[in-house]
Amino acid sequence: MEEQEILTTLKILIIGESGVGKSSLLLRFTDDTFDPEQAATIGVDFKVKTLSVDGNKAKLAIWDTAGQERFRTLTPSYYRGAQGVILVYDVSSKQSFTKLDAWLSELETFATKHDMIKMLVGNKIDKEKREVSKEEGLKFARKHHMLFIEASAKTKEGVQCAFEELVEKIIQTPGLWETSGHSLRLDAEGGQASSNCYCVV
C-alpha cells in the first residue's frame, strides 16, 4: 500500500466559527493527537496527509482557516480550487450553528468549483452540555446537500471517518478532480472500510 502511486492531490478546506475546533479536528486527523491548548489559528494553516480510500491513494492538502470574522477578508482566497470543504460547528454552541448559513453563502461566493463536496461536522460531542441536536444538524445538511457527521476531536470519534467519507465522495464525483495520468481503481474490494459511520447525503 505504501508503494502505491498517488492518484490525485485534493484540496480540502476547513471552515467554521472561531473556536469550534477546526484545528483540533485537523490535528486529530493528521497527527492523531489532541491538544486542549491548541492556539487560535492566525490566517490559514496547512497540513498534508495521504489517505487511502477504496484502494485509491489521495494526497490531501488541507487548509485550516481562522474563524475570526476579521480574517474572513483573507481566507476566502483559499477557497479557490478546493474540491471539498468541511464546515464545522460546535454542538455545544448554538451560535456556531446558526452562523452556518453565512458560511455557506460565503462558500457559494468564493468557491470556484461548483460541484465541490461539502461536509458538515458537528464537533465536540464529548461535551456534556449540548445545544445543537443531531437532528438539527442532519436537517441542515439535508437541506444543503451536504455530508453530515458528528465528531469529537478530543475522543477521536468520527474524525477519521469524516475525512475518509469526504475523500471517497470527491473521488466518486467525476470531473471534480483530475488524475495525474493513472486510472482509477474502483474494484470494490472493501466497499466501506469502517462502516459505523452515519453519513447522510
Partner 1 sequence: MAAEEDGDVFEITDFTTASEWERFIARLEEVLHEWKLANRDPLPNVPKGKFTEGPWEEKNEEILFADFKFLINYTRLKPSASAEAESRSSREREDADDEQQDEHKPPTITNDIISMDNDFPSRAHCLCRWYGLQEFLVIQPAPNFGVIDSESRAKILESSAAIALSDSGCHVPVFIQLQQKWRKLYTGVAIVPGANISFEMSHLKKLPSKYLHLDGLLNMFKGKLGCEYVSMPPVSVSVRFTYILEDWIHCPWPQMPPDFFSFSEGEVGCSELDVLPFGACEDPVSELHLSCTWPYLSADMIVETSGYTDLDPLQAPQWSVRIQMTEDPQCLLGQLLRAFMELCTRTETTDEILGRLATEGTDPSEKDGGEDITNALQRLTEPNLPYHIPSLGSVVSRASSKLKIKPEEAPIPPNSLNKILQHLFPDATGLGGSQSQKGKGQNSKTRDSTPVEESPPHGSPERVEEVFNEALKQLRSAPPDSLTYRLAVCMAIINLNHGGLRAVAHLWQEFILEMRYRWENNILIPDLGASASNKPSSSSSTTSSSPSAPSASVPAPNLGSCLLHQKLQMLNCCIERKVKRESAGYGHEDTVLHEASSGVFESDTSTSQPDNDAVGGGTAARKVASVNGSTTDDEDDEFFECDDGDSDEVSEAGGKGGQRRISGDSTSPRRPGSGKKNLISEKSIDSYMSDSSFKDAALMKAEGRLAPMKNMRSLSTNEPLFIPVTQEPSPMTEDMLEEQAEVLAKLGSSAEGSQLRARMQSACLLSDMESFKAANPGCCLGDFVRWYSPRDFIEEEEEDGEEKEEEERNEKNISRQCSRTEEEDGRNSASEEASGERPEDSEKDANCEAKIDSPKAADGKKSPASEEIPPQATAKASSSETSSDQDHVSSHCRPQRGHLSQRMQIPGNMWVEVWQSARHIPARRQKRLFDDTKEAEKVLHFLSGLRPSELVLHLLPMVIHASVLKLAEKEDPDVPVLKTLTDQVISKAVKVTRWPHPPEVKRYEDVIRMIELAETVSSRSKSLKTKFTRDLLEKGKAEEELHNFVSSLLQQPEVDVRGGAYGPAGSAIHKLFSAAQKAALMILEDEESTGEDAAAQPEQMKPASTVHDFPSPSAREYILRALIPRPAPYSRVLPQRMYCVLVDGDYRLAGAFCSDTTFQ
Give the burial class of 136: count Cβ atoms within 10 A of its Cβ; 0-12 exposed, 13-18 middle, 19 or more buried: middle
Q: Which is nearer to partner 1, 78 or 148 (CB)?
A: 78
CB nearer to partner 1: give 18 or 192.
Answer: 18
Cα Rg, the chain, nearest whole Å: 16
Please, what is the minimum distance in Å from the beta carbon of residue 1 to partner 1? 21
| Least distance from partner 1 to the Cβ atom of residue 90, Å | 9
Are residues 144 and 104 in contact, defined by beta-carbon separation less than 8 angstroms?
A: yes
Question: Minimum distance from CB of 16 to partner 1 (Å)?
Answer: 11
Largest interatomic CA distance in the chain: 49
Report yes or no: 126 and 155 within 8 Å, Cβ to Cβ: yes
3-state SS, residue 118: strand
Residues near partner 1, by CB under 8 A: 17-19, 30, 36-49, 61, 67-74, 76-78, 80-81, 93, 95-96, 102, 105-106, 109-110, 112-114
Complex with partner 1: residue 82 or 125, whichever CB lies closer = 82
Shortest Cβ 162–partner 1 spacing (Å): 19
Given the complex with partner 1, which of 45 and 55 has the nearer CB atom? 45
**Is the CB of 20 or the CB of 147 nearer to partner 1?**
20
Element (H, E) at 171: helix 159-172
**Residues 19-50 as b or e (16 or more Cβ within 10 Å = b):** bbbbbbbbbbbeeeebeeebeebeebbebeee
Q: How far is the CB of 46 from partner 1 (least distance, A)?
A: 5
